[in-house]
């Protein structure tokens, strides 16, 4: 585990400890030995060069985002005006249009931000409507004072069924409540700079929509947290987006370091080796902090949607390492049994926090009970860190590979650093697996069936195909 002296360095935002994935700790059949680490190093050297070359050609615009201060200042300016006018900021978006804002908001605003009284909160509440469940969407809308609510409509194509359904419902509600002319004052489009339905609506609709922020071409949803997709709502609720980008910049700069001291490369390379040669088919991302729980949701999309691909350069079997979300210490009482004793197909990545932002001390009570006395006088944060360390060690003794990403604190800088590092690791992993980490062809078929079932013009064939192939043997309906 990480020693105080090493990770305590405040200037070090994030530490990766991978001792527990080595053959030395978990054995040669489960862990990586010297030869494998050497092979990994060669692959990574190549992948790093390839990344930097492609980046220079403009193929990875996400990697340039942290250096573009313009969007961040624009978002801050909009927020400075907005915070006076609005009580609620609502993101209408799904997948990559929601997960980044959700993750950073949970990490950096107080966990009770939305229930704080106006004067303490100082910034609008944030609501992220990332599903079309009629029950939760109704509850959300019923809780809003529309006059004081601002909606971010986030969709690159403007054709996302879920987001656009929400947008249509909201538009009608705003019109009924505030009049047609006012609708546009409560809506900001975050979309492609030129293409797509939202741009068409700006060109012509009864509502004179005019406000939009652009998602740079070439930046897909799961890499968009540092575009307006993330920055606009985050600035509006009081996140220091400048510091967030500063952290991301540091990660991007650190990506030029030599392989064996490069966290993004090592995270990608170690997992790729474990996946390819040691049956590490799942990667459990397990933050030991409630504030980081949604970072593992965000990571789950990033990793799974980027790497879960049928088409590989070498024609090999389907790629992908299944990222699984867990939260410590909670899931020690729920998932750990499986990780310790179940199928040996998992790598656990602990996401630790060296110093929590609150200090809650366990008082000296019930000293005559040995099951309680040892807790007295300790901080909850100490207990949480010891549980993480004890769990990592128990897994290692059971020869279950695990690694630790340790944040010095949870701050805009560390979160920015962490997210950028994981995005870089994802792209590098794509090149190690020989897949395109930027596409998601597998989601189209389900959408087309849905269009068919919804009766969308031009998709009659999909409806016919659905009906024709429908197997509904009543014996298998129980």
Of 89-118, binders to its own copies (CB under 8 A) are 94-96, 98-99, 110-112, 115
The window from 16-24, 44-52, 68-76, 234-242 that contacts its own copies (CB under 8 A) reads 16-24
- Part in contact with its own copies (CB under 8 A); list of ranges 50-58, 60-68, 184-192, 322-330: 322-330
Where do runs of H (alpha helix) occur along 27-133? 34-56, 69-85, 99-108, 118-121
Of residues 73 and 451, the one with the C-beta less far from its own copies: 451
- DSSP assignment, residue 178? H
Instruction: Compose the 242-271 pattern: x for residues touching its own copies by CB under 8 A, - for all others.
Output: ------------------xxxx--x-----
Based on the number of CB atoms within 10 Å of its own CB, is 439 exposed (0-12), middle (13-18) or buried (19 or more)?
Answer: middle
| Cβ nearer to its own copies, comparing 124 with 381 | 381
H or E stretch covering 151: strand 149-154
Nearer to its own copies, 5 or 56 (CB): 5
156 catalytic? Reply is no
339: Cβ contacts below 8 Å, ≥ 6 apart: 284, 346, 348, 395, 400
Give whichever of 59 and 260 is closer to its own copies, judged by the CB atom.
260
Among 28, 313, 454, 464, binds its own copies (CB under 8 A): 454
* Interface with its own copies, residue 35, by CB under 8 A: no
Q: Is the Cβ of residue 85 or residue 378 nearer to its own copies in the bound state?
A: 378
Comparing CA positions, the residue from 138, 109, 136 lying closest to residue 124 is 109
Query: What span, in angstroms and rounded, lies between the C-alpha atoms of 380 and 108?
Result: 20
Q: Nearest CA to 163 among 90, 102, 217?
A: 90
- Give the range of 41-49, 53-61, 228-236, 448-456 binding its own copies by CB under 8 A: 448-456
User: In the sheet that 125-129 helps form, which strands lie side by side, from edge to edge?
Assistant: 125-129, 88-92, 149-154, 187-191, 212-214
Work out which of 75, 215, 229, 329 binds its own copies, going by CB under 8 A: 329
Are the C-beta atoms of 286 and 392 separated by less than 8 Å? no
Q: How far apart are CA 231 and CA 74, in angstroms?
A: 9
CB of 436 to its own copies, least distance (A): 11
The reply to whether 138 sits near its own copies by the rule CB under 8 A is yes
Q: By rule CB under 8 A, what string of x and - marks binding of each residue 57-96 to its own copies?
A: -------------------------------------xxx
The count of C-alpha atoms lying within 13 angstroms of the C-alpha of 193, restricted to the half-sphere facing its C-beta, is: 7
Catalytic sites, residue numbers = 305, 333, 447
């Amino acid at each position: 585990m990480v020693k105080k002296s090493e990770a305590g360095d405040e200037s070090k935002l994030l530490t990766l400890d991978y001792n527990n994935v080595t053959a030395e700790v978990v054995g040669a059949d489960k862990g990586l030995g010297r030869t494998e680490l050497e092979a990994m190093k060669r692959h990574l050297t190549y992948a790093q060069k390839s990344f930097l070359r492609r980046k220079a050609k403009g193929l990875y615009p996400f990697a340039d985002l942290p250096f573009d201060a313009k969007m961040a200042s624009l978002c801050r300016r909009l927020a400075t005006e907005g915070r006076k006018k609005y009580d609620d900021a609502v993101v209408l978006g799904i997948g990559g249009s929601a997960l980044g804002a959700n993750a950073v908001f949970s990490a950096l605003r107080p966990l009770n931000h939305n229930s704080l009284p106006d004067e303490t909160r100082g910034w609008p509440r944030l609501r992220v409507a990332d599903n079309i469940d009629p029950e939760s969407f109704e509850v959300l809308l019923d809780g809003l004072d529309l006059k004081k609510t601002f909606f971010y409509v986030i969709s690159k194509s403007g054709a996302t069924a879920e987001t656009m359904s929400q947008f249509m419902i909201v538009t009608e509600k705003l019109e009924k409540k505030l009049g047609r002319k006012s609708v546009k004052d409560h809506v900001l489009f975050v979309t492609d700079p030129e293409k797509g339905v939202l741009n068409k609506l700006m060109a012509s609709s009864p509502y004179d929509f005019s406000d939009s922020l652009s998602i740079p071409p070439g930046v897909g949803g799961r890499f968009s947290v540092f575009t307006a997709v993330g920055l606009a709502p985050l600035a509006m609720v009081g996140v220091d987006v400048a510091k967030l980008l500063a952290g991301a910049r540091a990660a991007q700069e650190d990506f030029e370091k030599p392989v064996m001291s490069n966290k993004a490369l090592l995270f990608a390379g170690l997992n790729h080796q474990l996946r390819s040669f040691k049956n590490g088919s799942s990667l459990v991302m397990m933050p030991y902090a409630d504030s980081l729980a949604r970072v593992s949701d965000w990571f789950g999309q990033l990793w799974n949607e980027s790497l879960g691909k049928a088409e590989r350069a070498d024609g090999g079997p389907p790629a992908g390492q299944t990222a699984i979300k867990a939260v410590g210490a909670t899931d020690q009482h729920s998932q750990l049994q499986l990780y310790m004793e179940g199928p040996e197909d998992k790598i656990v990545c602990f996401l630790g926090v060296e110093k929590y932002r609150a200090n809650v001390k366990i008082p000296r009570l019930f000293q005559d009970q040995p099951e309680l006395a040892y807790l007295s006088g300790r901080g909850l944060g100490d207990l949480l860190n010891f549980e993480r360390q004890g769990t990592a060690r128990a897994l290692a003794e059971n020869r279950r590979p695990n690694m630790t990403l340790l944040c010095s604190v949870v701050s805009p800088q560390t979160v920015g650093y962490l997210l950028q590092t994981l995005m870089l690791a994802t792209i590098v992993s794509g090149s190690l697996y020989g897949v395109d980490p930027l596409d998601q062809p597998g989601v189209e078929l389900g959408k087309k069936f849905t269009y068919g079932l919804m009766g969308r013009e031009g998709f009659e064939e999909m409806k016919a195909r659905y009906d024709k192939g429908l197997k509904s043997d009543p014996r298998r309906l129980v």
